[in-house]
Structure 1
Amino acid sequence: MSQTRPRMTNLFEQLGLDSSEEAIQTFIGTHQLDADTFLTQASFWTEAQRQFLEEKIDSDGEWALVVDQLNESLHEDSVNS
């Protein structure tokens, strides 16, 4: 069992996405969601990615905190406008 503390880079790796800091910032900047779109409803996820995110949210563990951080980051524009 991995003792790695979940971080945004780990989440992106688990999602099969580029996990470099630059790639994460680019992804977040180019995938902003409107206020009415929940993270797992976003059209850009594959079904496997969507299931992974839902499982982590439902687990309410350390991964849920990182997924919530991603959710907040993807909604920055809708909150700040």
Structure 2
Amino acid sequence: MGRVKSKRRRAESQRIVAARPLCLLQYPVAYLSRLQRILLAARWELNFKAAGEAHLPHRLHQRHVPLGAEAPTAGRQTGSERMHRF
């Protein structure tokens, strides 16, 4: 009986060792060092920013895009309405 148990334990430990590389493939971030995680997050952030800037029209940067959806109308009259001063 003692031999059977030791063989089972050995087989189980071999399965665990064999499954460890599969875990690395399935959950790669869990096995990275802290610095590697920081660098990976920074790379993702840069890729996200680059993808957002790629959608802007040619020669148009964010600083040239108005903040609001409408053009500023301060001091102008629009149609028959007059701008009210506060």
Q: Compute the TM-score of the two structures, normalised by the length of structure 2.
A: 0.26
The higher radius of gyration belongs to 2
Provide TM-score, normalisation by structure 1.
0.27
